[in-house]
Structure 1
Amino acid sequence: MRVVLTGGGTGGHIYPAVAVGRQLEREEPGTELLYIGTGRGLESRIVPELGIPFEAVDITGFRRKLSLENVKTVVRFVRGVSRAKQLLRRFKPDAVVGTGGYVCGPVVYAAAKLGIPTLIHEQNVDPGLTNRFLSRYADVIAVSFRESLERFGRHGRVLHTGNPCATNVLQADKTRGYASVGVPADAPIVLIVGGSRGARAINDAVVDMAGKLHSMPDIHFVFVTGDADYDRTDTRLRERGNIPPNLHVIRYLNNMPEVLAASSLVVSRSGASFLAEFTALGIPTILIPSPNVTGNHQEPNARSLADEGAAVMMLERDLSGDALYREISAIIEDPGKLRRMGEAARTLSMPQSAEVIAAELRKLAGKR
């Protein structure tokens, strides 16, 4: 089977596409993949490192107000469609999978115009602008959250599949996770992470509460600052002094699924792919949605888990070192609450997501 994957800008778009591709490779060893992204997005670095052939299309996103830049974006879109058609004709895929981000637009649109079966996956509760546009051209729409089903109106085939990242994380080796962060096997871990680039507000709250962590010596706090904010955060911690030995400060994790598998509680943003991994593993979470993302889409994601008792949601405006410490201690020091939240998270998981999407792609390819 030959499949084109497309989606970019953030890991939240890239990793679900890769998860679908890896699932197809597991099920059909002769599968050939091609990833089409932009030369400026994270995908241009991440995808080649994963050993997947990569091609670039030049495209930028629309601004949400009238501007000359939007006129230029229309021109880039038309050129992007032309470039995508060239790549698709050359590769001859059986199907195209789009996972969001503006690069998806010209690629999935071009595939639809060439009569190639298409499937788009929406990770968030509230669909992004690109997937809303593509919904009129895609053969199948897959969504991570049940609440998203109604967001696509009368489209003939909208499926609640969950997020394919959930399938991948279940194969993670937690023993390697413990070893990679220098924590004894089976010790309780509170993982604090603000995403691949980090989150300054979360980092500042952890710095402010660091002195209190001496009171929980048996709990290991794995604090991932993100590459961009590591130096500033590390300096602030050292200026405060008295860094507790159970606080492990890390710049970046390249084995996040393994460390997640070893964690007892996670504090993070509420990107959809991360949430899929938490629920698949049954990990309680404290979610701090980013207020800086398009359409504030992380808050509905977080609220979806909080309403089911799987997470506690804290808005960034309410975040402080004292507030975060109170929430962490209230959960980690109450085994019953920790267990109930984990069970609630697991009931929301869809660990077969990648398999379901792979099966749908085979159906589409067979109808061609």
Structure 2
Amino acid sequence: MKILVSGGGTGGHIYPAIALIRHLINQDESVECLYIGTENGLESDIVPKEGIPLKTVKISGFKRKVSIENVKTVFRFFNAVSKSKKYIKEFQPDVVIGTGGYVCGPVVYAAAKQNIPTIIHEQNSVPGLTNKFLAKYVTKVAISFPDAASFFPKEKVVMTGNPRASEVVKGDYSKNKNRLIELGLDPTKKTVLVVGGSRGAKPINDAIMSTHDQWKDKDYQCLYVTGDAHYEKVKEQFDLQENDVKNLVYVPYIHDMPAVLNEVDLIVARAGATTLAEITALGLPSILIPSPYVTNNHQEKNARSLEKESAAKVILEKESSPEKLMEEIDLILNNEQTWLSMKKGALRLGKPDASENLERLIYDAIKGGKK
């Protein structure tokens, strides 16, 4: 089987694609993959490191205001469609999959127009412009949140989950047992992981720095991932504190996050689609502080999907404070029934078999051909 995958711009579009490719190759070594992205996107760095062949097209997104740039974007789109057709003709894929981002627009559109089975995967509860545009052309639409279904043609929608969930649940963590010990924490204590993404999130950092002295009296401990951009400032401020707090360990970044997620009891984080796929698959209770700076406010809508199932507590950034955060952590980790209820809610939403679901959808699309 030959599979062509396109998605880019952010890790939220790229990592699910890579997780799916890994799964398909693990199931069948004869599977051939080609990835189409952009030269300027994260995919240009991430995809080659995975040993996946990469081709590129030039494309940009539409501006919200009327501008000459939007005219240029239209021309770039059709040029990218033309180049995608060339790549498709050379590679001869059995199926084409788009995982979001501007780049998958011309690629998936070109494939659909050539009657090649096509699938788009939507990670968020509210889809982006590209997937909304592609929905009327593709064979099937795979979604990760039930709330996303209403944005697409009902007959095309299949709830699969996010392939990143499968990697977190089914990965081999035998080499990373007692990861908490390696990080300087006590594996017998309940642990809250606080993380704001690879670069960190200032409101979350500010809240944790303001609660430094409160951790010493807690029955649980905190692993605080500052993000590379904030680490030196956090270290500088903590070094000024009179007392070293053993219940609080801070690091700039964690490269093996799935291993750590398997060992903690609660996470405080943003509400990106990949993060939520991972924690729901594990049944990990969460306190979510959605970023208000994303398109369509989709992080808050993602977070509310978990809140509806009692899987998460949502604190809006404008309402966040150190006192509020510590209060919520206390309420969850000091009450076993609350924690168990949240764990069950997360598991109800989790899709640990997401990769398998997408694999079946792919083979069904190939078998059935174009809609």
Q: d(CA) in 2 for partners of 1:47 and 1:193?
A: 25
In structure 2, the residue matched to 1:129 is: 129
Task: Verify the 8 A CA contact 1:78 1:106 in the aligned structure 2.
Answer: yes
Q: Which moved more, 1:70-79 or 1:303-312?
A: 70-79
Q: How much has 1:291 moved relative to structure 2?
A: 0.1
Identity within the alignment, %: 46
Distance in 1 of aligned mates of 2:177 and 2:8: 31
Shift of 1:122: 0.8
Residue 191 of structure 1: SS of its match in structure 2? strand
CA deviations over 1:104-163 (Å, ceiling 9, x no partner): 1111111112222110011111111110011011110011111211211x3531111122
SS at match of 2:155: coil
| 1:194 corresponding residue in structure 2 | 196
**1:85 aligned counterpart, secondary structure:** helix
CA distance in 1, matches of 2:342, 2:21: 31
AA at the equivalent of 1:223: Y
Local SS of the residue matching 1:203: helix
Aligned-residue Cα RMSD (Å) equals 1.7
CA deviation string 1:214-260 (max 9, x = no partner): 112x5331111222222233333334453412222111121111111
Determine the structure 1 residue equivalent to 2:309.
Answer: 308
Give unpaired runs (5+ residues) of structure 2: none
| Residue 254 of structure 2: aligned partner | 253
How far apart are residue 265 of structure 1 and its match?
0.2
Q: Deviations over 1:318-337 (max 9, x none)?
A: 11112111111111122221
The residue that corresponds to 2:40 in the other structure is 40
- Partners of 2:198 and 2:159 in 1: how far apart? 27
Which residue does the alignment assign to 1:357?
358
Q: Tell me how far apart the structure 2 counterparts of residues 69 and 59 of structure 1 sit (CA, whole Å).
A: 12
Residues 17-32 of structure 1 correspond to what in structure 2 (within 5 A)? Answer: 17-32=17-32
Offset at residue 301 of structure 1 (A): 0.8
Question: Given residue 254 of structure 2, which amino acid in structure 1 is its aligned partner?
Answer: L
Corresponding residue of 2:102: 102
| TM-score, length basis structure 2 | 0.94
Q: Is contact 1:98-1:119 (8 Å) kept?
A: yes
Distance 2:189 2:94 in 1: 47
Kindly provide the CA deviation profile for residues 324-362 of structure 1, in whole angstroms up to 9, marking residues without a partner as x. Answer: 111111111222211121111111112111101111111
The answer to which of 64-73 and 99-108 deviates more is: 64-73
**In structure 2, the residue corresponding to 1:228 is in which secondary structure?**
coil
* Distance in 2 of aligned mates of 1:39 and 1:185: 43
1:193/1:224 contact within 8 Å kept: yes
CA separation in 2, counterparts of 1:305 and 1:321? 22
What residue number does 1:166 align with? 165
Q: How far, CA to CA, are the matches of 1:83 and 1:233 in structure 2?
A: 47
Partners of 2:12 and 2:272 within 8 A in 1: yes
Q: 1:33 to 1:206 in 2, by over 3 A?
A: same
User: How far apart, in 2, do the equivalents of 1:166 and 1:237 lie?
Assistant: 34
CA distance in 2, matches of 1:346, 1:335: 16
Tell me, what secondary structure is at the counterpart of 1:29? coil
**Counterpart pick for 1:207 among 206, 209, 213:** 209
State the distance in 2 between where 1:214 and 1:33 align.
51
Aligned to 1:236: 237
**3-state DSSP class of the match of 2:177?**
helix
Q: Which residue of 2 aligns with 1:139?
A: 139
Q: 1:350, 1:362 → 2: CA distance?
A: 19
Task: Tell me whether 15-24 or 127-136 shows the greater mean CA deviation.
Answer: 15-24
Name the SS of the counterpart of 1:55 in structure 2: strand
CA separation in 2, counterparts of 1:333 and 1:243? 24
TM-score by length of 1: 0.95
Aligned residues: 366
2: CA distance, partners of 1:66 / 1:234: 45
The alignment partner of 2:141 has SS state of: strand
- Cα distance between partner residues in 2 of 1:171 and 1:182: 26
Distance in 1 of aligned mates of 2:92 and 2:240: 58
What is residue 343 of structure 1 aligned with on the other side?
Answer: 344
Equivalent position SS for 1:201: helix
